[in-house]
Amino acid sequence: MWGALMGALSRLVTTRIGQWVLAALAFLGLNFVAQEFAVGPMLNYLQSSLQGAPADIVNMIAYLRIDKYMTIVLSAYSLAAAGSALKLRKAS
């Protein structure tokens, strides 16, 4: 059973669809790692630094959705860094 499954997966990898599947899995892996180890701790740091801020400023930040903007920027930055590290690793 495992041999047939592995044979099917090896043939899938050589096709274009298989390459797309592998790219999607790599992206999801990078996204998980970025969220878990980079974006999460950075957002926790930002939240803890805003705990002493006046309520008016915190309400304005929430109204302008700056927190959502910061999440998107931190995610993009960490994914780009992880992607470039993966490319450097493949090149060497």
Question: Does a structural domain hold residue 12?
Answer: no
Dump pLDDT digits (tens) for 23-52.
776 667 766 766 777 777 877 888 888 888
Residue 10 located in a structural domain: no
Q: Is residue 1 part of a domain?
A: no
Total domains in the chain come to: 1
* Higher-scoring residue by pLDDT: 8, 87: 8
7 is a domain residue: no
Mean pLDDT of the residues in the chain: 75
> Rounded CA gap, 37 and 43, in Å?
11
**Does residue 34 form part of some domain?**
yes
Domain containing 67 equals 26-91
Provide the pLDDT confidence category of residue 63 given band limits of 50, 70 and 90: very high
Residue 82's closest CA among 38, 45, 42, 20? Answer: 38
60 domain residue, yes or no: yes
- Residue 15 in domain: no
Q: What is the pLDDT of residues 5-16, one digit of tens each?
A: 767 766 766 667
Share of the chain above pLDDT 90, in %: 5
70 touches 46 (CB < 8 A): yes
Residue 76 lies in a domain: yes
